[in-house]
């Protein structure tokens, strides 16, 4: 009986040793293959962030809006706008350092299972800002890695409120509108500060997929995502049950600006 148990323990020990050796060899191969690339991406990210300032994000917004400066400072952005995006895009925004560990594991897994392409979403708001302003939408590990490096550096250089301000002013709301104020003018012909909760969540629905959630073409799609955002806001205690019901039942009437 003792002999059998001893043999079983020895087998487990050898198996554990084999796993450690395999992990060490695999890790060494990965390091040798990708270390130079990772270092280059890290340096590139650091250079981009070191050379940027608040003006960088204002200028980017102006370029996207055909030379018009349609930009809101953090204290000018309604709290409901901020809460809507945090609730649906990155509920831990104020807790992380720019990167979601869970999303990183998904990205690494997809890289090895999908031929070197990143097919998983879940980027934080800071990562989305990094991609939108400094990078492109290529789905590969190099872009994803640099995106994460930039996000981490941005979190060290700017406050959370600044990052959220940059993000909300630079995201794509379809039909040539970039930023929440431009979107408000485009779809409701008014200032963002004058919108109600339902209208704000309708706009917040668009950037997830500007073509699919284009309210001028696919309003039903946009309304479905608006409802999802309202649910997330309620779940995270940003709004009450009463506010949720009123906003869900509010009839959206677009007043697009040519």
Q: Where are the domains of the chain?
A: 172-258
3-state secondary structure at position 178? strand
pLDDT of residue 120: 45
pLDDT of residue 258: 72
Residues 103 and 30 sit within 8 Å (Cβ to Cβ)? no
Greater confidence, 143 or 210? 210
- Dist CA 133 CA 158 (whole Å): 15
CATH architecture of 172-258: Orthogonal Bundle (1.10)
**What average pLDDT does this structure show over 211-237?**
97
Q: Is the pLDDT of residue 210 over 90?
A: yes
Residue 3: which pLDDT band, with cuts at 50, 70 and 90?
Answer: low
Greater confidence, 215 or 117? 215
Quick one: CA dihedral 203, 205, 210, 213, positive or negative? negative
Q: Is the pLDDT of residue 189 over 90?
A: yes
Q: What are phi and psi of 256, to 5 degrees?
A: -65, 145
Q: Is the pTM of this model over 0.95?
A: no
Residue 30: which pLDDT band, with cuts at 50, 70 and 90?
Answer: very low
Which range has the top average pLDDT, 16-20, 33-37, 254-258? 254-258
- Dist CA 187 CA 203 (whole Å): 8
Residue 122: which pLDDT band, with cuts at 50, 70 and 90?
Answer: low
Greater confidence, 60 or 138? 60
Q: Is the pLDDT of residue 49 over 50?
A: yes
Residue 203: which pLDDT band, with cuts at 50, 70 and 90?
Answer: very high
| Weakest mean pLDDT among 49-63, 115-129, 131-145 | 115-129
pLDDT of residue 103: 61
Quick one: CA dihedral 27, 30, 34, 36, positive or negative? positive
Residue 9: which pLDDT band, with cuts at 50, 70 and 90?
Answer: low
pLDDT of residue 112: 53
Greater confidence, 190 or 119? 190
Q: What are phi and psi of 178, to 5 degrees?
A: -120, 125
**What average pLDDT does this structure show over 179-204?**
97
**What average pLDDT does this structure show over 41-66?**
92
pLDDT of residue 257: 80
Q: Is the pLDDT of residue 239 over 90?
A: yes
């Amino acid at each position: 009986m003792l002999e059998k148990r001893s043999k079983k323990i020895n087998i487990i020990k050898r198996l554990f040793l084999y796993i450690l050796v395999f992990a060490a060899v695999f890790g060494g191969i990965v390091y040798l293959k990708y270390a130079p690339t990772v270092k280059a991406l890290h340096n590139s990210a650091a250079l981009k962030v070191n050379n940027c300032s608040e003006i960088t994000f204002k200028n980017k917004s102006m370029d996207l809006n055909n030379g018009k400066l349609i930009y809101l400072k953090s204290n000018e952005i309604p709290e409901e706008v901020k809460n809507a995006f945090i609730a649906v895009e990155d509920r831990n925004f104020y807790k992380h350092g720019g990167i979601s560990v869970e999303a990183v594991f998904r990205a690494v897994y997809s890289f090895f299972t999908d031929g070197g392409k990143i097919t998983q979403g879940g980027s934080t708001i800071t990562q989305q800002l990094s991609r939108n302003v400094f990078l492109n939408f290529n789905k590969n590990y190099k872009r994803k890695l640099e995106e994460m490096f930039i996000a981490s550096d941005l979190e060290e250089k700017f406050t959370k409120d600044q990052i959220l301000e940059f993000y909300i002013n630079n995201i794509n709301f379809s039909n040539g509108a970039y930023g929440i104020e431009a979107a408000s003018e485009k779809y409701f012909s008014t200032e963002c500060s004058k919108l109600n909760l339902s209208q704000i969540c309708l706009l917040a629905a668009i950037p997830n997929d500007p073509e699919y959630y284009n309210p001028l073409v696919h309003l039903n799609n946009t309304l479905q995502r608006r409802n999802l955002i309202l649910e997330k806001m309620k779940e995270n205690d940003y709004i009450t049950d009463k506010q949720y019901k009123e906003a869900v039942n509010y009839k959206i009437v677009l007043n697009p600006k040519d």
